[in-house]
């Protein structure tokens, strides 16, 4: 029923009232799709690249955090390499 309501609210402003009874053949399947779309979670590493059906903000926040983490690790590697090069360049007495 939520699929029908969300479709009505988002795309069909001229349709005031849609019910599952208006879809006698596909009504139960529409409910199954809605449930599956709401409860979908990635189960494999490759599924992380698929944007979920609901709440895309968490998807983009996850990838932003991955990007920032990767950039931080690269920056830390640069700092360690610079410190190592600086220590090697100090003349021994």
Whether the per-residue pLDDT at 14 is higher than 60: the answer is no
Q: Where are the domains positioned within the chain?
A: 1-39, 51-93
pLDDT score recorded for residue 91: 83
Q: Which residue has the higher pLDDT, 41 or 1?
A: 41
Instruction: State how far the alpha carbon of 88 is from the alpha carbons of 18, 75, 78, 82, 92, in Å.
Output: 75, 20, 15, 10, 9
pTM over 0.85: no
């Amino acid at each position: 029923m939520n699929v029908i309501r969300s479709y009505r609210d988002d795309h069909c402003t001229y349709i005031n009232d849609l019910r599952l009874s208006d879809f006698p053949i596909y009504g139960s399947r529409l409910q199954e799709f809605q449930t599956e779309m709401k409860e979908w979670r990635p189960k494999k590493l490759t599924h992380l690249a698929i944007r979920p059906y609901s709440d895309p903000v968490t998807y983009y926040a996850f990838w932003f955090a991955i990007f920032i983490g990767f950039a931080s690790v690269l920056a830390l590697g640069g700092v360690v390499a610079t410190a190592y090069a600086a220590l090697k360049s100090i003349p021994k007495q």
